[in-house]
Amino acid sequence: MIAGGCSEGDDTPNPGPPVQPGGSGKAKVWVTSGDQSRLLAQQNDIMITTIKASPTITLDSTVTYQEIEGFGAALTGSSAYLINKKMSTSQRGTLLQNLFDAENGIGISYLRMTIGASDFSLSDYTYNDMPSGQTDYPLANFSIAKDKEDVVPVLKQIVGIAPNINIMGSPWSAPAWMKTNGSLNGGKLKTDAYESYANYFVKYIKAFDAEGITIDAITPQNEPLHVTSNYPSTDMPAADQLDFVKNNLGPTFESENIDTKIIVYDHNWDNIDYAKTILGDATASQYIAGSAFHAYAGDVSAMNAVHAAYPDKGLYFTEISGGAWAQNFSDNLIWNMNNIFIGTTKNWSKTALLWNLALDENHGPTNGGCADCRGVVTINSGTGSVTKNIEYYSIGHFSKFVRPGAKRIGLTNNQNVAGLNAVAFLNTDGSKAFVALNSTDNPLSIVVNLGARQFSYSLPAKSVATIRW
């Protein structure tokens, strides 16, 4: 868990003019430096020439890997509340353009949302809460009214800017009456509630669809191996999730003609057996699009290990947070690139998502969880002013230039240059994006071969560059 410093939004450079594929002989460059002298700042174009020098890196767009679904963060209840209630109309409009417009902002293309409350909501709730001792297996009282206060209005504005944005829903808890301990905090899902809970997901997807919001994917449970009495959570071992997906959720989606993806696990890199247990069941597997991972424990290579075992299933990186424990902008830029953005995509991930899209100056509002987490942006709860954090620029180096439908392409680090990490993509419009990190204290001169052509570039010290042509 790491991330870092901030800069006032009013003082940060605009990410630049509309992104167009570079002309036949030029590539466009954007740089963020650890010393914050450049923040997703457009540089002078560089020439693409005939072969003149030995390559540092060779790209091969005839070799393709996973298809990218998007980059972004989580629109938690807290994030939605701040955007909806603590900003003026003009402030909100500017922020949402900065976050979701691919031409004038960073073009976030994927959002995660919480199905009901999480540790970043204004209160505890689900979409079917009942008085203690009462049940509602037919879900007659199902309602997303609570989300219509902030989440739905903000999502509608986002969809207006980015109509094709992908949205993933993840629950922290089923309704308390469905659980063994009668509480949102901890406990397990009762087996006799499996059928009702599968229908709960269907109702959720249909309710948001009725609002013009398409749910592209769900996970059955956020962090199923983390249970706490402090905020909504659920103990869902792999065997339980397998049973639920195989015998209830999958068949229910099929019978209801729900094409929303089911993505299993949704927890840390330090456990790959959970996902493999479920993916290894032939009946369950037919309903499952892939598995999702967080970065609070373990190593990014775990995703590659799951891909090696089940290459036909997608990999999704869905959560990590920055916070007050890690303030150094440069260190966080390097960590984010090596582990989350370059790291996950090189290990087959279709997404790279951070945690809260927005938090306030006090790291909240919180609902019993992390007391010092940092959002992608910080919204001042008194003035509505925005601070763009290190996370904003980290996402932007990918989301603005690597659009949904892009495919990762072949890359060879010919000289194994120490401190250089890179990944490349082919967009559906034919443009290519190359993202390179120099984590050393000195500039790195690189030569990138593109078949019969090449370009040269000097990567500044402790900087990331996105080059597009």
319 in catalytic set: yes
Residue among 148, 96, 71, 45 at smallest CA distance from 468: 45
Residues contacting 37, CB < 8 A, separation 6+: none
Instruction: State how far the Cα of 404 lies from the Cα of 352, in Å rounded to an integer.
Output: 12
Instruction: State how far the Cα of 379 lies from the Cα of 154, in Å rounded to an integer.
Output: 15
Residue among 445, 386, 447 at smallest CA distance from 82: 386
Rg (CA), the chain: 22
Residues contacting 36, CB < 8 A, separation 6+: 5, 7, 329
Residue among 270, 291, 296 at smallest CA distance from 279: 291
Q: Classify each residue of 46-64 as buried b or exposed e, where b means 16 or more C-beta atoms within 10 Å of its C-beta.
A: bebeeeeeebbbbbeeeee
Report residue 440: phi and psi, to 5°: -90, 170
Instruction: State how far the Cα of 416 lies from the Cα of 358, in Å rounded to an integer.
Output: 38
Residues contacting 174, CB < 8 A, separation 6+: 126, 189, 193, 197, 200, 234
Catalytic member of 223, 256, 361, 391: 223
Say what angle helices 77-85 and 89-100 make with each other, to 10 degrees: 130
Instruction: State how far the Cα of 22 lies from the Cα of 276, in Å rounded to an integer.
Output: 42
256 in catalytic set: no
Residue among 302, 359, 314, 365 at smallest CA distance from 73: 359
Catalytic member of 69, 256, 319, 391: 319
Instruction: State how far the Cα of 428 lies from the Cα of 423, in Å rounded to an integer.
Output: 17
Residue among 220, 277, 275 at smallest CA distance from 249: 220
Q: Do 233 and 126 form a contact (C-beta atoms < 8 A)?
A: no
Tokens of 74: 């989580």
Q: Do 84 and 431 form a contact (C-beta atoms < 8 A)?
A: no
- Catalytic residue annotation: 223, 319
